Structure 1
Amino acid sequence: MARLPRLAVTDAAHLVVWRGHNGQPVFVDDDDRQAWLASMAEGAVREGVEWHGHALLVSALWMLVTPCFDGALSRWMQALGRTYVRRFNQRHGRRGTLWDGRYRAAVLAPDWVLPALVFLDQEPVSEGLAATPEAWRWSSHRHYVGAEPQRAVTPPAAWWSLGDTPFAREAAYRRLVQEGLSRQQAQRLREAALKGWPVGDATFLAALQAQTGRRTEPARPGRPRKVVNDLSPNNYEKAAVSMKL
């Protein structure tokens, strides 16, 4: 079966994941992570991508972004990937591919944007890289709780609804992270990003399919039901009457 085209929608938030080939590290140390963030910030401005959040792990990276122009996300990620791999290979004396294929992404309904930010914050803890989200420098959590502002990060629209002042928003977001996501929510976001399916309710998915012309949910397993045409005289007469022939 042919692979579905990757779904990218202008002005919609996307949860993006890129993993190392065969689980190999894509970041060996903090210098690698700093280089990735610098390239992200430069490329986001150039290509027109709003960068909302990130979690740089060891063998994978996660990002929450919104492309502002058609094709912006793809151009940004391709340029990032090429630039970073060239630097990584030179620095670590290696050759060949770094990534496990192309990056993957899920389009998010507006009410899934804040859960996606919380998901990013919890990934370093889930991976055993830090005891708390705030202890991991290489995510956007510290920006959103006011501990370490990052100028290149653009808060999504949902962020501003958390409070009327920066302090109120930071406190509200900290509570969201402390409450965390359910296992089902986290699993849905993870699988959607890895498989390229959008996340939202039925109304959102239907509107997205109408807008893009691309299927927005996996096909049901099994073969399609076979339609049997019974053209016996009796049924033929009934069909002819129903079609007013």
Structure 2
Amino acid sequence: MPRMGRIVLPNYPHHVVQRGHNRQVVFAAEQDYQRYVSDLRELKDVFGVKVYAYCLMTNHVHLLLAPGEAISGLGQLMKALAARATRYRNRLEGRTGTLWESRYKSSVVESDAYLLTCCRYIELNPVRARMVAEAGDYPWSSYRTRVTDQSDSDWLDMDPCFFALGDTPERRRIRYMEFMRQAVPSSELDLIRAALQRGQLTGSARFVDEIERIQGLRVELRGQGRPRRNPGK
């Protein structure tokens, strides 16, 4: 069966996952995580890509990214991130070869209904993996940056749906923390996972119709349902 072409759209968020080659460990020490986050902060501006959420797991990364008008920026960012991490690890371990799978997975996300939902999915990865009890206990995701008033927290991008959570930064942080503590329905998890695995859209049937008009082709939606209404909506 031929591989499905990747759908990339300007100014839309994309849920992206890249795994280590043969699921090998890509972050073995604290400095590995630090370097990746530092590279992400630097390269997002180089390639004109917004970063809404991230989570670095031991052998893969979850990112929520939005390219600008130049959609090539998304692929260029992912290629540059992978290349830097590979060169670093190869130099450190005196090895050659690839560190990552050749093709990352991605799914275009419906902003209004699913952006916050995907952020929550990404930032709760360490909790679902039983690595930590709460999202705030994990240092290598966007959650701490989002809910704490840190001097270096302004590099994470804000979609209008975040501003809709409250009229002050403190109110927005409180509402987002409440959102994170809500029970996550299994249907929500299944929909996000299936869309990502199959390279489909993370959104409603209406969203699929909208993208079909933009793309001028049939886009199959696998899975039904809609997440709970976002807080602040």
Q: Same fold (TM over 0.5)?
A: yes
Q: Distance in 1 between matches of 2:42 and 2:147?
A: 24
The residue number in structure 2 matching 1:161 is 164
Is contact 2:55-2:63 (8 Å) kept?
yes
Is contact 1:25-1:58 (8 Å) kept?
yes
Residue of structure 2 aligned with 1:140, choices 139, 142, 162: 142
Long gaps (5+) in structure 1: 220-245
Q: Distance in 2 between matches of 1:95 and 1:21?
A: 13
Query: For the aligned residues, what is the CA RMSD?
Result: 1.6
Q: Quick one: which amino acid aligns to residue 120 of structure 1?
A: I
The residue number in structure 2 matching 1:21 is 21
The residue number in structure 2 matching 1:206 is 209
Cα distance, 1:177 vs. partner?
Answer: 0.3
Cα distance, 1:218 vs. partner?
Answer: 5.9
* Structure 1 residues 168 and 218, CA gap change in structure 2 (3 angstroms): closer
Q: How many residues get paired? A: 219
Q: How is 1:1-245 mapped onto 2 (pairs within 5 angstroms)?
A: 1-68=1-68, 69-110=70-111, 111-146=113-148, 148=150, 150-217=153-220
* Structure 1 residues 194 and 94, CA gap change in structure 2 (3 angstroms): farther
Q: Secondary structure at the match of 2:210?
A: helix
- TM-superposition CA deviations, 1:9-41 (whole Å, max 9, x none): 100011110011222111111100111111111
Q: Which moved more, 1:143-152 or 1:194-203?
A: 143-152
Q: Secondary structure at the match of 1:15?
A: strand
The residue number in structure 2 matching 1:223 is none
* Structure 1 residues 180 and 50, CA gap change in structure 2 (3 angstroms): farther
| Percent of matched pairs sharing the same residue | 28
Is contact 1:162-1:173 (8 Å) kept?
yes
Q: Distance in 1 between matches of 2:183 and 2:20?
A: 27
Q: Which moved more, 1:82-91 or 1:210-219?
A: 210-219
Q: Secondary structure at the match of 1:163?
A: coil
What TM-score, normalized to structure 2? 0.89
Q: Which moved more, 1:56-65 or 1:81-90?
A: 81-90
Q: Tell which structure's C-alpha radius of gyration is larger.
A: 1
Q: Secondary structure at the match of 1:63?
A: strand
- TM-superposition CA deviations, 1:100-129 (whole Å, max 9, x none): 231111001111000011111110111222
- TM-superposition CA deviations, 1:29-85 (whole Å, max 9, x none): 110011111111111101100011100010110011110122110111111111221
Runs of 4+ in 1 over 3 A off after TM superposition: none
- TM-superposition CA deviations, 1:156-209 (whole Å, max 9, x none): 221000001111100000000000421121221122122211111111101102
Q: Distance in 1 between matches of 2:94 and 2:183?
A: 40
Long gaps (5+) in structure 2: 223-233
